[in-house]
Structure 1
Amino acid sequence: MGLKGVTLRGLEVFEALAATGSVAETAARTGLSAPAVSQQMRNLEAALGTALVDHARRPMQLTPAGRHFLTRAREVLAQLRLARSELTMMDLSGLTTLALGMIDDFDNDLTPRLATILAESMARCRFRLVTAPSHEVTAAVAARRLDLGVAARPAAPVEGLEEHPLVRDPFILVTPRGPLEGAAALQRLPFLRYDRAQLIGSTIEAHLRAEGAEFPERFEIGAHQALMVLVARGAGWAITTPLGYMRAARLHDRIAAHPLPFAPFARTISLFSGADWASPVPQDIARTVCELVQAQVVGPALAQLPWLEGDLRTLA
């Protein structure tokens, strides 16, 4: 089958329609008229020779073929957007120094890819990259020990910092696979906590208190990977986020992700900078990080955990 008639605009319209289920909302997102959105979808479906959307339902829903094609369409769009961001990053060649902090949630694939892009774009720049927990990254940017930092949004705004939101990262339940999978694990297995000195740990504890949910104090783990290994071994259950779950890919055959059994909540991952930048460098790097997150984390996570659709999403 050829690809004649499959256009970039058609893929963008399909992606937006899959997220909204509404022609009107898709038109607002894409800047097209409602008739133009409908025409783009008809052209795309004709080019592929199959229906991607059940047009009779409100809100519209994807057909099985549409769900399969959405995964591939997202991959294509993510790579094109990342390529566009990499071209934009070429404008950073005038920088002489840059110190960047990255949340340790990205230390497996995303941070090395970003470092490669920056190194290629800033051949004459003295570049320093630091990986650390969120609270350490934002503190270092506020103290001007780092120029920029990617971290979870703190509970209270930090004076003197500008924020560029990147991704909404909802909290999820992670349990061992097997007979105690899902909510059943909460009744039979202990709660494996993050270290409450870390922002993710204190955020989870604050939400549990607000929910009136109390669990015995047995385990408090500082290292994310160690926490996921304990879950995989059946030692207990944990609350993490899709970013954390995707970091533990080697354990996915032994751990299972589920929606929370109580009120949902989420964290925001952002790029933070000082308020004294006169150039668009923070915005350019934020855009590139956002595209990397979409290509390497969000897209694969939604393909594996489709119930996160609309909840896990990039923001820039």
Structure 2
Amino acid sequence: MAAKVDLRTLEIAASVISEGSMSAAAERLELTQSAVSQGMKRAETLFGATLIHRDCRPYAPTKAGQMLAQEMPILQQRIEQAIEKVRSAAATPERFDLRLGMIDTFAATVGPLLLRDLIDGALALQLSALSGLASAQADAMKNHSIDAAITSETIRDVTNLDSFPLYREPFLLVCPKGRAEGLTGLSLTEILEKHRLIHYSARSHMGKQIDRHLRRVGLEQPRVLAFDTSDSLLAMVGRGVGVAISTPLGVLQGGLHHDSINVLPLPNPGFSREIALYVRRGELTTLGPRIAEITRDIIRRAIIPQIITQFDWLESEAESMVLE
């Protein structure tokens, strides 16, 4: 079995050869003469050859010693180059290939800010983003077509997932512009007796959550109009077709229609939804928590101020909407 190469041992041997003396090499290397002598013996054991002629003063190198003396500057240069490469790699942020799925309301509001931060922060070398319904994110995680999902639906069909809670938001009542005053103080039952409810589709997680809430309070509303996206739903409200139940992110997503709608607190009892990041356990162990941290920061500094500006009654809840 070959002896283990010790760079310090080679440096000691090269110094003895260069200085021609153990004591001079010890002084140069700031070692004891005994340590230098032992280092010289280790080097000769490593090479299986005598490196100096000890019967003359100053020591004269053997042929093997001459070769070591010639090679040491080259070796030291390579070591310095290797150190510089390692330092350069350490100074470069880690890069990943990342396929990220997001529900539509998140993708249209928080998503652009998150993707920009990930790209500008060099956390992702190649970033692919997929948006769609919450059920699509669960399927994509199950099929391994994405690496992480930001969704409001608990992913139950995929085992060994880690989740990072991000954000909780209440459901709100959206009505056509100018109708808010007539609805204030009414129960949800009274509101829906007067106005058609425009639904989120039954295949969307938002639609399922709203349907469950309506059943809990004893309301069954026919699905005359139903849409997958907030943008289409709010367009209908803005045109006076009816009222809708949505969330702050849903309303922000439908930004084109803000001038044609009013938003009110949902009559009691209220309910909310939570959005979380899901990653496979053992994967993205560093990147997963980092994405969660970046997302929460974006919601605090960019999304919450928008929500408070548009829905000032939510200001007291704003701090608790970001989840840790």
The TM-score range, normalised by the shorter chain, is 0.5 to 0.7
**What TM-score do you get using the length of structure 2 for normalisation?**
0.64
Distance 1:92 1:107 in 2: 28
Distance 1:236 1:155, change over 3 A: farther
Identity among equivalent positions (%) equals 27
Contact preservation (8 Å) 2:164, 2:277: yes
Specify the alignment match of 1:279 in structure 2.
285
Which deviates more, 132-141 or 279-288? 132-141
* Deviation (angstroms), 1:189: 1.8
Deviation at 1:310, TM superposition (A): 4.3
Q: Is the 8 A contact 1:175 1:185 kept in 2?
A: no
Tell me the residue number matched to 2:259: 253
| Kept after mapping to 2: 8 A contact 1:246/1:297 | no
Match of 1:296 among 286, 292, 302: 302
Q: 1:96 to 1:287 in 2, by over 3 A?
A: closer
Question: Alpha-carbon deviations, 1:267-302, whole Å to 9, x = none?
Answer: 001111111136321111111111112222222112
Partner-residue secondary structure (3-state), 2:199: strand
C-alpha change, 1:137 and 1:127, in structure 2 (3 Å) is same
Q: Deviations over 1:131-150 (max 9, x none)?
A: 12222113322332211111
Q: What does residue range 144-163 of structure 1 map to in structure 2 within 5 Å?
A: 144-154=144-154, 158-163=158-163
**Partners in 1 of 2:229 and 2:194 — Cα distance?**
24
Q: For residues 238 and 221 of structure 1, do their structure 2 counterparts lie closer, same or farther at Cα, with a shift above 3 Å needed?
A: same
* Equivalent position of 2:239 in the other structure: 233
User: 1:170 — aligned with what?
Assistant: 170
In structure 1, the partner of 2:97 is 97
Secondary structure of 1:253's match?
helix
SS in 2 for 1:284: helix
Once the 2 structures are TM-superposed, how far is the Cα of residue 157 of structure 1 from its aligned partner? 7.6
SS for the counterpart of 1:163 is strand
Residue 309 of structure 1: SS of its match in structure 2? helix
Q: Which has the higher contact order (CA 8 A, sep 6+)?
A: 1
The aligned runs of 1:124-163 (5 Å cut-off) are 125-154=125-154, 158-163=158-163
Q: 2:314 aligns with which of 308, 312, 315?
A: 308
Aligned-partner residue type, residue 142 of structure 1 = K
What residue in structure 2 maps to residue 32 of structure 1?
Answer: none
Contact 2:173 2:266 in 1 (8 A): yes
Q: 1:158 & 1:266 partners in 2: Cα distance?
A: 24
RMSD: 2.5
- Aligned length, in residue pairs: 227
In structure 1, distance between residues paired with 2:154 and 2:209: 9
- Contact 1:99/1:146 (CA < 8 Å) preserved in 2? yes
For residues 201 and 244 of structure 1, the distance between their equivalents in structure 2, rounded to whole angstroms, comes to: 12
Which one has the largest radius of gyration?
Answer: 2
Residue 115 of structure 1 corresponds to which residue in structure 2? Answer: 115
Paired with 2:262 and 2:204, the residues of 1 have a C-alpha distance of: 24
The 3-state SS of whatever aligns with 2:202 is: coil
Q: CA deviation at 1:235?
A: 0.1
Q: What is the alpha-carbon distance in structure 2 between the residues aligned to residue 98 and residue 198 of structure 1?
A: 25
User: In the superposition, relative to structure 1, how do residues 210 and 123 fare at CA in structure 2: closer, same or farther (>3 Å)?
Assistant: closer
Distance in 1 between the 2:92 and 2:206 partners? 32
CA deviation after TM superposition for structure 1 residue 185, in Å: 4.6
With structure 1 as the length reference, what TM-score do the two structures score? 0.65
Q: Give the C-alpha shift of residue 175 in structure 1.
A: 0.7
In 1, distance between residues paired with 2:148 and 2:272?
A: 23
Distance 1:124-1:295 versus aligned 2 partners, 3 A rule: closer
Tell me, what secondary structure is at the counterpart of 1:129?
strand
Contact 1:101 1:137 in 2 (8 A): yes
Q: Which residue of 1 aligns with 2:222?
A: 216
Q: Which runs of 5 or more residues in structure 1 are unaligned? A: 1-89
Residues of 2 paired with 1:289 and 1:138: CA distance?
20
Q: C-alpha separation between the residues in 1 aligned to 2:91 and 2:264?
A: 42
Which deviates more, 155-164 or 211-220? 155-164
Contact 1:174–1:239 (CA<8 Å) still a contact in 2?
A: yes
TM-superposed CA distance for 1:91, in Å, is 9.1
